[in-house]
Amino acid sequence: MTLQTERLRTVEQIEVFLGGNAEVDFKPEGRAAAYGFARRTLVRLRYASLDRRGKGAVREYLGKTTGFSRAQVTRLISQYRETGRIEDRRGGNSGRPFARVYTPADIRLLAEADEIGGQLCGPAACEVLRREYEVFGDRRYERLSRLSVSHLYNLRRSKTYRARRTTVSHTKPTASRIAERRRPRPEGRPGFVRVDTVHQGDRDNAKGVYDINLIDEVTQFEHVGATAAISEAFLLPLLEEMLDALPFAVLGFHADNGSEYINHRVAAMLNKLHVPDFTKSRARRSNDNALVEGKNASVVRRWLGHDHIPQRFAPRVNAFARDVLTPYLNYHHPCLFASEARDRNGKIRRRYRRRDVATPYEKLKSLPDAERFLRPGVTFRELDRIACAMSDLDANRAANRARDELFRAIARDMNAAA
């Protein structure tokens, strides 16, 4: 590279070189060689006297021939203009990170010890690790024997530890003729709900809580629940309770192809509730259930997190979701609603405007002749009392406090059991 490029002495030659080697990458023999080549190039081409176009060509040329990024080339040129030299300023460390005290193997060993011992509290777990090395002579625990209590919790939060202790079982696809495979057609009417399951993961071969997310397509009315399992005995009563809690009649029920929803028992329950439409997502049409999938991330994961929650806490999580989280989401949490318009090519464009932001309850009330969608016995006067019982920020504070208390109670019970 150096023998060929040392002959380039004008900006025009540099530009021709760049145009003829656009698809070719160069790599210098080492950093010192690259620094020396960059300085010689700047001196040879009289970089300081070039115009803007010429300087840009030289910068591109140096990036091409040295493999350095644009920012690195800028730093080298600045150093040359200040001192007349280009040298390695990284010091003796040369950019090498500090050595890790606890290796991934140590973290996996800690996860194995926690799995065997049931994840003891910090001081007890550190004492077990110390005894394994000092008393019983297991040299694998030599570094872990000096682990502090505070850093123990850091390692437990690491990706390596969580990958070793927490697993997620993905749903296995099964063919079924139940439900119609199409996208729902609400036509501006509330009552066409989407449903999906969010799993809190497995730990030590024990299943976690299953979060059930139910959302109306038109108004974004949302109900969140939790159950210890997705078998019929657990799921059906919760689903029926969540559907009955909606202020409007349910006209359609849409799910992905998970067998927890696409089965004869759910179909019989929907028939009992007089739900006329039972649909499921089409293959390779990810938008069919995109609304509830998006709410899984922005609502369920935001409020309940990704960490494992043991099954025995499902009633507490469900009580929080039913009594605190769901009223807050429907009466106090603003949502974005799209406005559709056709462009000059006839394609429908969706825009999210500031004036279209509303809570699900406000969206329900804004529908033409909205009272006709309400269930018998439900009135807007009654719903207004719920919506005006507290301000949006007060409702948010109450929900935050309830969630924090929920997780503190779960942590206390888990530590007591350990």
Local confidence band at 190 (pLDDT 50, 70, 90 cut-offs):
very high
Question: How confident is the prediction for the chain on average, in pLDDT?
Answer: 86
Tokens 């406000």 map to which residue?
Answer: 362
65-78 exposure pattern, b = at least 16 Cβ within 10 A, e = fewer: bbebeeeebeebbe
For 187: left if phi > 0, alpha if psi spans -120 to 50, otherwise beta; the answer is: left
Domains of the chain: 2-83 (no CATH), 104-167 (no CATH), 180-335+392-417 (3.30.420.10)
pLDDT at residue number 244:
92
pTM above 0.85, yes or no: no
When comparing pLDDT for 191 and 340, which is higher? 191
Which range is least confidently modeled, 14-23, 26-35, 153-162?
14-23
pLDDT digits (tens, 9 = 90+) for 273-330: 889 999 998 887 878 888 899 999 889 999 999 889 999 999 999 999 999 999 999 9
138-167: pLDDT as tens digits: 889 999 999 998 899 999 989 889 888 875
Percentage of the chain modeled with pLDDT above 70: 91
**pLDDT per position as a tens digit, 92-133:** 555 566 677 899 999 999 998 888 877 788 888 888 898 889
Residues contacting 206, CB < 8 A, separation 6+: 310, 311
Of all helices (H) and strands (E), which one includes residue 61? helix 52-66
**pLDDT above 60: residue 3:** no
Cβ neighbours for 364, distance < 8 A, ≥ 6 positions apart: 190, 219, 221, 247, 248, 370, 373
According to the model, what pLDDT value does residue 177 have? 75
Section 184-196 average pLDDT: 91
Q: What is the pLDDT of residue 348?
A: 83
pLDDT, one tens digit per residue, over 335-372 is 888 888 888 888 888 888 888 888 999 999 999 999 99
